[in-house]
Structure 1
Amino acid sequence: MNTKKVLVAGATGYLGQYLVKELKKRGFWVRILIRREAQKQLFTDVDDIFVGEITRPETLNGITQNIDWVFSSVGITRQKDGLTYMNVDYQGNANLLHEALKNQVQAFQYISAINGDKLRQLKIFEAKEKFVDELTNSALQQSIIRPNGYFSDMKDFLTMAKGGRVYLFGDGTQQLNPIHGADLAEFCVDKMIEGSAEESVGGPDIFSQNQLATIALQAWRKPIKITHLPHWVRKGIIWALRTFTSSKTYGPIEFFLTAMADDNVAQTYGKNHLKEFYKAEVKAGKV
């Protein structure tokens, strides 16, 4: 039995659920933060459940009591409750950090995203990196993990491929190595144990966007049809979204369209392969 007591914030998210499983597998005592009582049924193997809202500091009192390590993957994905990136990705995590400092937690791991420090002009990273700065300047031992795209994010290619054609911007040669949540959780726990201050990581396979489109179409047994759109179309979409929609709407799309224009390759890690993930998703009818 591991003697460390850990808190997982963001436990109901894609990565959070894998983190909880990985920590329990290694014998850690695990407390999770959830927003609603109803979410308790998602977890059968945790030691303690704390119900509170990360954006309401008065509901977090005592959350880090007797905790050694905090893991936070808290951030807005597709929530529709009127909160902004600054409310959640920055202030929510800052509220948690305040509790951690109050209770003299030993270490705090925060999961940002690849190249977040270089893309602070994007709404999604403006908030994340503001929190990274605060964590880095705090008295706690910090661990910043910058993963490449999750397998769950890559389902966008699979959804597009279902229609028989994938649309890409530019020539499709930009590369990336997305990572499965189970592999990333394993990596996160390893780096916390090692005391690593900052790491960027991706999955075991590096793909060009053309290759990604191809394996997505192959998963549906479709002929390979890829349409390459000029970059001015991509830039025009970003401009229109920034002009006519809220940051909540355009944030994820702005990030996706900006990331699509560059290589995003991190150190390779893990044993789960995207091709098998795509096949399993199609077989299970999840797309």
Structure 2
Amino acid sequence: MTEKNRAGWDAGRFIRTLAYFEAIPGWSWLKQILPGVADKPENYLSGGKQVGVILVAGATGGVGKRVVQRLLERGYQVRSLVRDKDKASSILGDVETYVGDITQPETLTPEMMANVRAVICCTAVRVQPVGGDTPGREKYNQGVKFYQPEIVGDTPERVEYLGVKNLVQAAAQYWQQNPSGEKIVFDFSQPTPQLQQIWGAVDDVVMGGVSQSEIRFVEGTALFTGNVSTANSGGFASVRTKNFTSPLDLSGYEGVTLRVRGDGKRYKFFLRTESSWDGMAYSYSFDTVANEWITVRIPFNQLTAVFRAKTISDAPAIDTSKIRSLQLMLSKFEYNGELNPQFSPGGFVLQVESISAYGSAKPQFLLVSSAGVTRPNRPGINLEEEPPAVRLNDQLGGILTWKWRGEEAVRESGVPYTIIRPCALTEEPGIQPLVFDQGDNIKGKVSRDSIAELCVRVVEQPQDGNLTFEVKADPNYGAFAANWQNLLARLKRD
């Protein structure tokens, strides 16, 4: 850079830009020792939270509360379906709640299902030892010591069958009426403080230029505006998100839509899968119509891999499950030295109302049922060798029979589903190695921690067919992480 050029260059703004995006070498170390620069959780956005809601029914139960916890740890947006909001608050903390009752279908409204992409149903009747689950009976919860059980509260027919049927019908109706699968990634109509803190300007000052831009949130939109200059060999202005604390997962979608109003200029949109400051990105150029709102549709298979403004011919296709950041840019360059045909230096304005994912991502309904549901009254069954739930099915109001009816309601609903049938649930801590089976013959036990983790893993997978299977723990089978996906792949679809 010549002395003449350097005179117009704002070195302070260059440093502030790098600091805002934590791109200064050694920044991770510096922020630990400098006052006022430590991480602020509200300034970081978890990618997983942005695309679709996961509804957890039975969210205050033994499995449900663990499912909620694991989803939140992974950055998902969770909505808990509960009957008692105060109880939910005491157990789950600050989680979005919807007050409803699966046994009362009129409470399962479209509002409950709004933007829901998956339902995890962990509801169950309450079973406890006769005389109550009193202190000193911890071994009962470990599946070790047996106490005569009884049903408390609603009947198995109302909860395990009618309630599950009501819930899956509510989900089916919502998904049928919202078939496009479009999910909001960023909604600028109601910007939160967190949203305002994640976007920042990245202009050609980082290359020695003097262009300036900003993003402001006005009139229910994000306003990307500024002045772009070709001085000092510059010529671009942009706004970009900080890296998401967990990647934005858009797997299963076909692309992204932008709802924008521009000034007739051609802009670029970038997705980045690398957390590095100046790495490869996937780009798409789009033209705007002056002062008119338009919807820009950006298919993932039409993105161009670039490093700065040069295309990368041998780059892999974008991994849409690992989106680290988003960026909007106005540049005098198109690609490989070619000029942007719609570019002119000076002021510019681009309003953005929303950024959404669109495509064929299928919704999922996951039901936590029980092993043994087909065994009561099954020919050839020796009840003396069966778990207590099978032996005491009639005494417990037909609990397994009604669970089976609930499964059938899910299968008949027409929604994509997975039905998990755990063996005896225990409070043993930790995630265990698992064994999967089909045909409803295995016996054993498994921790609620393990089932909660399995629920989250299953709902994260693309849905390629309806599935029912049983599961138990087996300490001799290897680590959970090493076997669960292979086990799923071997199962037969319903």
Fold shared, TM-score > 0.5 on shorter chain:
yes
Aligned to 1:235: none
Aligned to 2:126: 77
TM-score w.r.t. the length of structure 2 is 0.36
Q: How does 1:34-73 map to 2 (within 5 A)?
A: 34-39=82-87, 40-46=89-95, 48-61=96-109, 62-73=111-122
Of 401, 404, 415, which aligns to 1:129? 404
Q: Write the distance in 2 (CA, Å) between the matches of 1:131 and 1:124.
A: 11
Of 91, 98, 101, which aligns to 2:172? 101
In structure 2, the CA distance between the partners of 1:141 and 1:268, relative to structure 1 (3 Å rule), is farther
Q: Write the distance in 1 (CA, Å) between the matches of 2:94 and 2:405.
A: 33
Query: Larger Rg: 1 or 2?
Result: 2
Structure 1 SS opposite 2:450: helix
Aligned to 1:25: 73
Q: Write the distance in 2 (CA, Å) between the matches of 1:269 and 1:120.
A: 36
- Per-residue deviation, 1:176: 4.5
In structure 2, the CA distance between the partners of 1:56 and 1:29, relative to structure 1 (3 Å rule), is same
Aligned to 2:291: none
- AA partner of residue 116 (structure 1): V
- Per-residue deviation, 1:152: 3.6
Q: Write the distance in 1 (CA, Å) between the matches of 2:443 and 2:114.
A: 40
1:192 aligns with 2:241: no
Confirm or deny: 8 A CA contact 1:63 1:99 kept in the other structure.
no
Aligned to 1:90: 161
Q: Write the distance in 2 (CA, Å) between the matches of 1:90 and 1:150.
A: 20
Of 164, 178, 186, which aligns to 2:445? 178
Q: Considering only aligned residues, what root-mean-square deviation do their CA atoms show, in Å? A: 2.6
Aligned to 2:419: 144
Q: Write the distance in 2 (CA, Å) between the matches of 1:94 and 1:131.
A: 6
Q: Write the distance in 2 (CA, Å) between the matches of 1:120 and 1:5.
A: 40
Could you give the per-residue CA deviations for residues 135-155 of structure 1, whole angstroms, max 9, x where no partner exists? Answer: 1122100000011111149xx
- AA partner of residue 125 (structure 2): I
Could you give the per-residue CA deviations for residues 135-185 of structure 1, whole angstroms, max 9, x where no partner exists? Answer: 1122100000011111149xxxxxxxxxxxxxxxxxxxxx94321212111
Q: How does 1:226-245 map to 2 (within 5 A)?
A: none
In structure 2, the CA distance between the partners of 1:52 and 1:190, relative to structure 1 (3 Å rule), is same
User: How many residue pairs align between the two structures?
Assistant: 189
Q: Write the distance in 1 (CA, Å) between the matches of 2:107 and 2:118.
A: 20
Q: Write the distance in 1 (CA, Å) between the matches of 2:446 and 2:478.
A: 9
Return 5+ residue gaps in structure 1 as ranges. 154-174, 207-266, 272-287
Aligned to 1:113: 370
In structure 2, the CA distance between the partners of 1:56 and 1:268, relative to structure 1 (3 Å rule), is farther
Whose strand fraction is larger, Structure 1's or Structure 2's?
Answer: 2
Return 5+ residue gaps in structure 2 as ranges. 1-46, 128-150, 177-362, 379-392, 429-441, 482-494
Q: Which moved more, 1:193-202 or 1:9-18?
A: 193-202
Structure 2 SS opposite 1:32: strand
Could you give the per-residue CA deviations for residues 112-148 of structure 1, whole angstroms, max 9, x where no partner exists? Answer: 1113233377311111111111111221000000111
Whose helix fraction is larger, Structure 1's or Structure 2's?
Answer: 1
- AA partner of residue 65 (structure 2): Q
1:201 aligns with 2:272: no
Q: Write the distance in 1 (CA, Å) between the matches of 2:479 and 2:372.
A: 17
Of 54, 59, 70, which aligns to 1:6? 54
- AA partner of residue 165 (structure 2): A
In structure 2, the CA distance between the partners of 1:49 and 1:113, relative to structure 1 (3 Å rule), is same
In structure 2, the CA distance between the partners of 1:85 and 1:111, relative to structure 1 (3 Å rule), is same
Q: Write the distance in 2 (CA, Å) between the matches of 1:202 and 1:152.
A: 14
Q: Write the distance in 2 (CA, Å) between the matches of 1:64 and 1:268.
A: 38
Confirm or deny: 8 A CA contact 2:121 2:368 kept in the other structure.
yes
